[in-house]
Amino acid sequence: MDVRNAERVGKLRSVIGVIRGREEPDKMVILGNHLDAWSSGAVDPSSGTAALLETARAFGEALKQGHRPRRTVIFAVWDGEEPLLGGSTQWAMDNAEALRKGAVTYINVDSGVQGGQFTGGATPALAEFLRDVTKSVSDPVTGKLLYDA
């Protein structure tokens, strides 16, 4: 095998969209995903990109109807995720003070859909919430609660 890698310094181009909150604008809910893929691009990251864009579209429609979220919502599509989380890491470093003071949660929609069975993960603080949500959502395949399916 003959491997020839070319190391170079390049620009990362992350895309950030912000909807400023009406009551707690300094508190941030961040939804993120990445642009680049090494393999399985339809799953990681493209299904997450589709979910993130649809969520942003729905928020935009709500804004048109006069609804503004309580807290600031940040939609982030990171560049350079595959090589060491480059885009998100740099953004977090650039915004460290604001994040320390006001970040409420980060929702990673990296791989929004894959296969026919639901899998989910959460930090321990949100695990029970995730379980509760699956008890109120129907599985589109079986019609049972997602928790039971």
Would you please indicate which residues are annotated as catalytic (active-site) residues? 81
15-114: what fold?
Aminopeptidase (3.40.630)
Cα distance between the two ends of the chain:
46
* pLDDT tens over the chain, length 149 residues: 898 888 888 888 999 999 999 999 999 999 999 988 877 778 888 999 999 999 999 999 999 999 999 999 999 999 988 878 889 999 999 999 999 999 999 999 888 787 777 778 888 988 999 999 999 999 888 899 999 88
Integer CA distances (angstroms), 59 to 2, 21, 146, in order: 49, 12, 25
CB count in 10 Å sphere of residue 89 = 14
